[in-house]
Chain A
Amino acid sequence: MSELVPKPVPVPSAVALPYWEGLQRGEFCVQRCAACGTLRHYPRLLCRECFSDAVDWQAISGEGHIHSYTVAHYAYHPGFAAELPYTLVTIELTVGLRALGRWLGAEVPQIGAPVRMVLVPGEPYPTLSFAPA
């Protein structure tokens, strides 16, 4: 019968470690350029506006709206088989960045609809998720 295969676990890169540690504290943290203030995500080495590598991390609200989505009906990793079908939403965050998360809404996502962030408890990291605002 169904054999329990664990889902892939995030392997934090050095540059993104504060993001993952933030999730464990219940925060969505993004890089803020310490030189010019530009926010960036996914985490990377340099600010593409001023090329500084100096970074402060800033918690954001996780509010935004739906940019697009997909509903997965096939498990490309056996760890997700028990969750099918599941919905992934691409979110345009109000701070001007994007995030991918799991959709918690009962209805099919509507592009443009406002959302709020929910961090669903998980080990070793919570799952970045979104629900209707």
Chain B
Amino acid sequence: MSIADKACVTGIGETAYVRGSPKSALELQMAAARRAAEDAGISPHDIDGVIPIGVVSGIAEDFIDNFGITDLRFSALIPHGGASPTMALQSATALVAAGICNHVLIAFGRNVSAAASKAGARIHQMPQFHYVTEFEYPLGNCAPAQIYAPMAMRHMQLYGTTVEHFGEVAVACREHALLNDNAIMKKPITLEDHRNSRLIAEPFRLLDCSLESDGGAAVIVSAAERAKDLRHRRVFISGVAVGHPDSPAAITQRPDMTSLGLGKAAPRAFRMAGVTPADIQVAEIYDCFTYAVIRQLEDMGFCAKGEGGPFVADGRLRLGGALPTNTHGGLLSQAHIWGLNHIVELVRQLRGHGGRAQVPGAELGLVTGYGDLGDGAIAIMRRE
């Protein structure tokens, strides 16, 4: 049985994205979840599956308690960082396709921008980073920027990827953030601004790095038959897949340091959806770092391995380019909501509700997730 087109994203919800929210992660998660149910046109009582994202905010019991859910039939946690939201789409699709659930809530909230819990300290609480914590942290390999940098450095050396290529990704995301009222970054940047931003962990500069931000986002995944009666035009999940890199807990030990889990997932998702990269009209690609976007484009087959740099040049990722990408501003310039904001934006685009950042006539698009040290996920969606 294929699960292609058996599920639809029927509801989307977001809070304001800010630095320094007075609200707790759980409050933000609940607020977004309530908005997603309202957007779908269902009562929170009707939610019968829940996949809370991360382990930093709520668990299933919180949703049962606060929403008065009387018949929750499924819950799970997916511990793969920024890949978790798109991985959760796969679980939710399978759940509704199998008839286990009708409406699955995927919700996330975070409040991390307070100084005491920056990424350099936070990841060492997480079990998937245990090799890094034991063997690399004491050497000074503390935070994702440093841990991922050798992948990008090797890509530059092997394939000739340049600072300007990274800058193209940063500039595209920023241009799109300027069209989005719910984006944290408000100032235009140029390739020169990118090049002149201070070095963080070579080759990464400040403008290669995503934001630390607070907020909540949520989506409702419903059985395609149920979705017919709900508020919005249906957006189908046509292809969805997950993949893990070799040596998933240590990039140092990965046989090909420039490989990612997405390279295994993407062919499965495209096959399931029956489309090719050339068919994709809008892409929301997990952008923890500019390099990650370039590498994922290669893994998805938009170009050959090593050609991701030239591929993004000349504004291809900007609105009006051949592959408008991160039309909300991404983690680089909208907010870092673990990529659940990318799923929300893809649905918005496919509904035709993209506002000033709308890709004209967008009917088919994709979203990716990238977690921890390279776990990957992809969902290809199409509108009815």
Within 8 A of B (CB), among A1-53: 7-13, 16, 41-42
Give every chain A residue within 8 A of B138 (Cβ-Cβ): 7-10, 125, 127
Give every chain A residue within 8 A of B134 (Cβ-Cβ): 10-13, 16, 42
Which of A12, A42, A70 is the one whose CB lies under 8 Å from B153?
Answer: A70
Beyond A42-B131, A111-B153, A128-B139, 8 additional contacts (C-beta under 8 Å) are A11-B134, A72-B201, A76-B143, A77-B140, A90-B150, A100-B141, A100-B252, A101-B139
Within 8 A of A (CB), among B133-191: 133-143, 145-146, 149-151, 153-154, 157
Listed in ascending order, the chain A residues whose CB lies under 8 Å from chain B are 7-13, 16, 41-42, 67-74, 76-77, 80, 83, 85-86, 88, 90, 97-102, 111, 125, 127-128
In the bound assembly, the distance between CA atoms of A128 and B92 in angstroms comes to 45
Interface of B is mostly: helix
Give every chain B residue within 8 A of A10 (Cβ-Cβ): 134-135, 138
CB–CB B201/A74 < 8 A:
yes
What's the least CB distance linking A87 to chain B, in Å?
9
CB–CB B150/A70 < 8 A:
yes
- Convert B97-117 into 0s and 1s, putting 1 for each residue whose CB lies closer than 8 angstroms to a CB of A: 000000000000000000000
A90 with B257, Cβ < 8 A, contacts A10-B134, A72-B140 known: yes
What's the least CB distance linking B229 to chain A, in Å?
50
What's the least CB distance linking A22 to chain B, in Å?
13
Query: Quick one: closest A residue to B158, CB to CB?
Result: A111
What's the least CB distance linking B157 to chain A, in Å?
5
Query: Quick one: closest A residue to B147, CB to CB?
Result: A70
In the bound assembly, the distance between CA atoms of A111 and B202 in angstroms comes to 14
The interface on chain B, measured as residues whose beta carbon lies within 8 A of the other chain's beta carbons, has a size of 36
CB–CB A13/B130 < 8 A:
yes
CB–CB A71/B202 < 8 A:
yes
In the bound assembly, the distance between CA atoms of A125 and B131 in angstroms comes to 17
Which of A73, A90, A100, A101 is the one whose CB lies under 8 Å from B198?
Answer: A73
CB–CB A71/B201 < 8 A:
yes
CB–CB A100/B136 < 8 A:
yes
Give every chain B residue within 8 A of A86 (Cβ-Cβ): 140
CB–CB B139/A42 < 8 A:
no
CB–CB B253/A41 < 8 A:
yes
* Residue B199 CB within 8 A of the other chain: yes
Give every chain B residue within 8 A of A41 (Cβ-Cβ): 253
What's the least CB distance linking A118 to chain B, in Å?
13
Give every chain A residue within 8 A of B142 (Cβ-Cβ): 8, 76-77, 80
- Convert B199-238 into 0s and 1s, putting 1 for each residue whose CB lies closer than 8 angstroms to a CB of A: 1111100000000000000000000000000000000000
What's the least CB distance linking A78 to chain B, in Å?
10
CB–CB B151/A100 < 8 A:
no
Query: Quick one: closest B residue to A129, CB to CB?
Result: B139
* Residue B119 CB within 8 A of the other chain: yes
In the bound assembly, the distance between CA atoms of A29 and B66 in angstroms comes to 53
Within 8 A of A (CB), among B323-339: none
